[in-house]
Structure formats: C-alpha cells, structure tokens
C-alpha cells in the first residue's frame, strides 16, 4: 500500500467551494510530493481567476445567512470542528510531516494549537460585544458587524496553525471566507475541508489551492472581497497591502521576523537556557517567522554558553520526520534548502565564524530531502545573516557587555515580531521587555504563546494581532447607532 493510500489521501484535490470539491475550468494541476523522498502524494488543482470568482460568489451568497446565525450556533460549529480535528489528529499530523518535512512531534503540536484556536474563538464568539452609554434624551449603541467575504492567504511552514488562525476568528465573527493555502503545503488544509463539509453551511468556508501569482493575485484583487488577511514574507505583504489600499479594504498582515534572544549573566541554569535557545532556533527546522535566530550572550557567560550550545547542536539527531528519535528533519523543498545553504556561504564570506554545522547530510531513503546540520555562527549584528530572515536552522551568536548597546542592536533590524530573554532579575526582565521593539516578548521560555496571548508584530513584521480576542475586531466593523426617545422640538428652522 502506498503512503498516500495509508493516509487516506485523495488522488486529486480541486477547489473546495460550497462544501464540495469542484473541478477547475482549465483542468491544470500540480504535484504534491513527499518532501524528503520525492514520492508523489496527490495532484492539486491549480486554481486561478475563474475558480476564485466562483468561490467568492459562493461566500457572498452564504454571508447573509451566516451573519444572521446566532453566535451560539457559530460557536457550536467551531467546537465540532475542534473535535473532528482532534479525532483525526494522528493522521493529519502525519500528512503535514511528510508534506513539509517536519518531525511528527512538532506537527502533532501544531494541530493541538489549531484545536485550541477553534475552541478559543468558539468561546470568544459569544463574548464579542460592542458598548453602549446614555446620551441626552436617548442612548448610543456601538455594535460589531462582520465585513463579509474575507480573502485569506497562508504560508507553508505551519499549515494547521495558519489555517486555524485565519478560519476561527473570521467565521466566529460572522464572516465567510475564501482561503488560499500555500502550494508547498496544501494537503492537510484540503483534508480539513472534508470535516468542514460535515459541519458548516455551504459557502461559509471555501478553499482555493494554487500559486500566489495566480490564485493569490486573483483573490487579493477581487472586488467581492471585503477584508484581506495574509501571513508570509514582508515582500509579499507589501503587495497585499497595496492591493488593499487600491480598493480601500482593511488588511491584516503577519509577516517576517529576525528575533533577538538575550542571555543575561545572572542565569542560574545554563543547560536549561541553552536547551531553550536551541529550541528557539530549530523548532520548525528553523522555518519560522518567530525563530530566535539572533542569540545575544553576555560576555560573563559567553564561553560556558558556547561550549554547551556547540555540544548540543552537534548531538542533534537528524533524520526522517516520522522517525521517533528525530530532532531536526528536512527543509520543505530543494529551493528552500539551496536558499539556506546560500546564506551559510554568505555568512562565511562576510567574515562570520562558523563554529559548527551548516552542511547538507544524506539520510538513507530520503535522498530528495535537504537535511542541514544546525549552523552556529559567531557574528556581528550588521552582517546579513544577522539581519535577514533565512528560514532555516542558522543561528547568529552575538557577544555583549554593554546593556544599552545590546538593546540598540536587538532593535536594529527591520522586523519586530518576537523576542526572548533569560534572567533571574525582575528588573532586567521588565525593563528589557519594555525596551524591545517586538509584539511578543517571552521571558525564560521562548515561544510561550498561550491562547488569548496577542500575536502580531511591530515595524515590518505586520499589522494587527492574531490569536486573541482583539482579533475579532480585525474581522468586524464598528457601527454606531443612536436612538432618541422622541423627536426634538423644532430648532433648526422653526416657524417664525
């Protein structure tokens, strides 16, 4: 039995519109392949302008009924979706592992994050309220109303989380959606559609796979889309923002990062800190916008940290994502692998000292995969490898002594998505958190993202916050309605 049949994958996937997989007009498709063996897993429809238009029309037709659906009923459907994903979690996690090359332990966590999102917004849907107050002779009510059809585009690195980040708040707030998954990671999202069809009314959730320059461009430019949401690179984010500005529709963006992770000299458990710094670097195989890939280490503990860091990186088990002892698996594609190796060459050329790693290694039976040993550079903050988002297991270690200079360098990037720090000193913790230009600051535990914790960036890392109650406001208008108990006596142009 092939892996595709073992996982219950369809041979082909088309656009998911009105709770059905509908064939494309052109019949064009692209291959979904196992990221490390090259085995074909399925063929996926290459949607374009026509399919996007049909999906938007379906979402627009479904919107009035969905908008009128009581929040309690929307909440119940999101809870059913969470339960369906939970029951299907082992299979969906395996699909993501082979599709994008991450270890099964991580993709299982992804789906648990997704489940928590569906449940969080199921609760938030029934507590999303406006406000009111008396005014002279009457009352003011400010109410939240959904935008309508939301166009959403997600990346390939954590498809389960990204899908939940977009679907859950949008439909909880009463919107309908057309979502485009990344062409490198569409399978688990398309499999999710099978659960959606059993739970939600037709047209509420529509999925159009395809390429960014085709399906993505058609979705962002469609006049029937009333709100745009995008997660991905800052470069593409600018294009999405421009499309929104052209039509004057709201846009929320979660973009790139080059996050600082700071070690103070007062830490009391170097081994624990180093382990967490390794996690910050290598989670998602380093293919994460929030990865802590700039490690600022105080001079007083620098040698001890580096000794443990290098030893830890060199004992990392590299292998297939489905192998139980794997810690670091393959990158999503050959293109991404070559990009990461190219940045390692750039670091060497810049004069950064490669302390360990940075090599592609073979894994038997997975010759198509790009398995790269975690690279640790001693670097300066202005080097390209410390400034640009690499999206791979590449860490720049920067030595610091002067606190103010370290803060200046930590903030001296165009991004501001996340930051971490390790200290036992309360003043260090709070003062540094206040001074870091980042949407999320994690103290003594990197990627400490609990449900309800706002997730969004400063500077070129985006606009808006996901993962929290505030996200519902990004998917709704605020409408003011005033009522007077009676019409006022003539005053504007009274009879003489």
CATH number at residue 139: 3.40.605.10
Tokens of 45: 């429809």
Q: Average of pLDDT values for 421-429?
A: 98
Q: What pLDDT shows up at residue 325?
A: 96
Question: 103: which 2 tokens?
Answer: 């270890």
Average pLDDT value for residue range 8-32:
94
Report yes or no: 332 and 35 within 8 Å, Cβ to Cβ: yes
23 located within any domain: yes
- Residues 76, 53 within the same domain: yes
Per-residue confidence at 105, pLDDT binned at 50, 70, 90? very high
Residue 1, pLDDT above cutoff 80: no
Residue 492 lies in a domain: no
Indicate whether 451 belongs to any domain: no
In what order do the strands lie in the sheet containing 138-146? 131-135, 138-146, 476-484
Say if 197 falls within a structural domain. Answer: yes
* Domain match, 337 and 426 both: yes
Residue 214 lies in a domain: yes
- Average pLDDT on 148-158 reads 98
Q: Which residues pair with 483 in a beta bridge?
A: 139
Mean pLDDT of the 303-330 span: 98
Once rounded to an integer, what is the mean pLDDT over residues 428-456? 95
Looking at residue 451, its pLDDT comes to 81
Q: Please name every residue paired with 375 in a beta bridge, in sequence order, or none if there are none.
A: 394
Residue 450 has pLDDT above 90, yes or no: no
**What CATH number should be reported for the domain holding residue 308?**
3.40.309.10
Give the rounded percent of residues in the chain with a pLDDT score beyond 90.
95
Report pLDDT for 495.
82
Does the residue 21 lie in any domain? yes
154, 182: one domain: yes
Q: Find all residues with CB under 8 Å of 340, minimum gap 6, and list them.
A: 286, 331, 370, 372, 390, 391, 392, 393, 394
pLDDT digits (tens, 9 = 90+) for 458-471: 999 999 999 999 99
Separation between Cα atoms, residue 308 and residue 279, nearest integer Å? 14
Give catalytic status of residue 254 as yes or no. Answer: yes
* Whole-Å CA distances, 67 to 148, 152, 172, 175, 293: 8, 18, 10, 7, 43
Q: Domain check: are 171 and 299 in the same one? A: no
Q: Cβ distance 372 to 336 under 8 Å?
A: no
Using pLDDT thresholds of 50, 70 and 90, give the confidence band for residue 494: confident
Catalytic residue among 289, 389, 460, 468: 289
What is the spatial distance between Cα 33 and Cα 18, in angstroms, rounded to a whole number?
Answer: 27
- Same domain flag for 179 and 300: no
Q: Are residues 426 and 375 in the same domain?
A: yes
At 430, the pLDDT band (50, 70, 90 cuts) reads: very high
Residues 270 and 340 in one domain: yes
For residue 8 the two structure tokens come to: 């219950």
Contact 204, 146 (CB under 8 A): no
One domain, residues 240 and 379: no
Tens-place pLDDT, residues 45-75:
999 999 999 999 999 999 999 999 999 999 9
Mean pLDDT of the chain: 97
List residues bridging with 190 in a β-sheet.
none
Give residue-wise pLDDT tens across range 196-230: 999 999 999 999 999 999 999 999 999 999 999 99
Question: Does the pLDDT at position 89 exceed 80?
Answer: yes
Q: Which of these is catalytic: 108, 254, 409, 460?
A: 254
Range 47-73 burial, b when 16+ CB lie within 10 A, else e: bbeebbbbbbbbbbebbeebbebebee
Asked if residue 488 belongs to a domain, the reply is no
For residue 23, name the pLDDT band (cuts at 50, 70, 90). Answer: confident
Question: Distance between CA 168 and CA 146 in Å, rounded?
Answer: 13
End-to-end CA distance of the chain: 93
pTM for this model (two decimals): 0.96
Q: Is residue 495 part of a domain?
A: no
Given this model, what pLDDT does residue 397 score? 98
CA distance 462 to 472: 17
Q: How many domains does the chain have?
A: 2
Report whether pLDDT(319) > 90: yes
| Domain housing 375 | 260-443
Strand bridging mode 360-361 / 371-372: antiparallel
The per-residue pLDDT for 491 is 87
Task: Tell me if residue 11 is catalytic.
Answer: no
The string of pLDDT tens digits covering residues 266-298 is 999 999 999 999 999 999 999 999 999 999 999
- Alpha-carbon distance of 27 to 411, in angstroms, equals 48
> What local confidence, expressed as pLDDT, does residue 27 receive?
87
CA torsion sign for 372, 374, 378, 379 is positive
- Check whether residue 17 and residue 62 sit in a common domain: yes
pLDDT in tens, 161-179: 999 999 999 999 999 999 9
pLDDT band at 145 (very low <50, low <70, confident <90, very high): very high
- Let me know whether 264 and 247 are in one domain: no
Same domain, 115 and 210: yes
Pair 212, 198 in one domain: yes
Q: What is the pLDDT of residues 363-418, one digit of tens each?
A: 999 999 999 999 999 999 999 999 999 999 999 999 999 999 999 999 999 999 99
């Amino acid at each position: 039995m092939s892996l595709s049949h073992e996982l219950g994958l369809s041979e082909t996937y088309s656009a998911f519109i009105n709770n059905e997989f509908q064939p494309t007009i052109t019949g064009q498709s692209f291959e979904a392949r196992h990221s490390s063996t090259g085995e074909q897993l399925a063929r996926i429809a290459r949607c374009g302008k026509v399919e996007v238009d049909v999906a938007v029309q379906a979402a627009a037709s479904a919107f009035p009924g969905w908008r009128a659906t009581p929040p309690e009923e929307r909440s119940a459907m999101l809870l059913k979706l969470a339960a369906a994903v939970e029951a299907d979690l082992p299979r969906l996690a395996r699909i993501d592992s082979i599709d994008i090359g991450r270890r099964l332990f991580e993709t299982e966590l992804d789906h648990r994050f997704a489940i928590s999102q569906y449940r969080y917004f199921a609760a938030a849907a029934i507590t999303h309220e406006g406000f009111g107050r008396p005014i002279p002779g009457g009352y003011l009510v400010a109410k939240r109303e959904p935008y309508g059809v939301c166009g959403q585009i997600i990346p390939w690195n954590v498809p389960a989380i990204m899908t939940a980040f977009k679907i859950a708040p949008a439909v909880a707030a009463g919107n309908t959606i057309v979502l485009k998954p990344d062409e490198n990671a569409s399978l688990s999202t398309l499999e999710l559609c099978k659960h959606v069809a059993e739970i939600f009314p037709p047209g509420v959730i529509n999925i159009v796979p395809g390429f960014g320059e085709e399906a993505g461009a058609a979705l962002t430019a469609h006049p029937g889309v009333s709100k745009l949401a995008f997660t991905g690179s800052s470069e593409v984010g600018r294009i999405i923002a421009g499309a929104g500005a052209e039509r004057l529709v709201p846009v929320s963006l979660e973009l790139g990062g080059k996050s600082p992770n700071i070690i103070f000299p007062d830490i009391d458990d170097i081994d624990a800190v180093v382990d967490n710094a390794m996690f910050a670097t290598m989670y998602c195989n380093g293919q994460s916008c929030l990865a802590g890939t700039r490690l600022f280490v105080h001079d007083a503990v620098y040698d001890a940290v580096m000794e443990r860091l290098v030893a830890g990186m060199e004992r990392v088990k590299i292998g297939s994502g489905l192998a139980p002892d794997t810690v670091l698996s393959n990158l999503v594609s050959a293109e991404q692998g070559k990009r990461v190796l190219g940045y390692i060459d750039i670091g060497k050329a810049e004069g950064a000292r490669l302390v360990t790693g940075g090599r592609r290694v073979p894994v038997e039976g997975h010759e198509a995969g790009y398995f790269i040993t975690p690279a640790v550079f001693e670097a300066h903050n202005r080097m390209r490898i410390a400034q640009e988002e690499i999206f791979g297991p590449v860490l720049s270690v920067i030595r610091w002594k002067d606190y103010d200079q370290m803060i200046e360098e930590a903030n001296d990037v165009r991004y501001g998505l996340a930051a971490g720090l390790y200290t036992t000193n309360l003043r260090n913790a709070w003062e540094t958190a206040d001074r870091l230009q980042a949407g999320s600051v994690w103290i003594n535990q990197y990627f400490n993202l609990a449900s309800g914790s706002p997730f969004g960036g400063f500077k070129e890392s985006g606009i808006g916050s996901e993962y929290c109650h505030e996200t519902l406001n990004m998917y709704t208008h605020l409408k003011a309605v005033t009522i007077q108990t009676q019409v006022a006596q003539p005053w504007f142009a009274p009879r003489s």
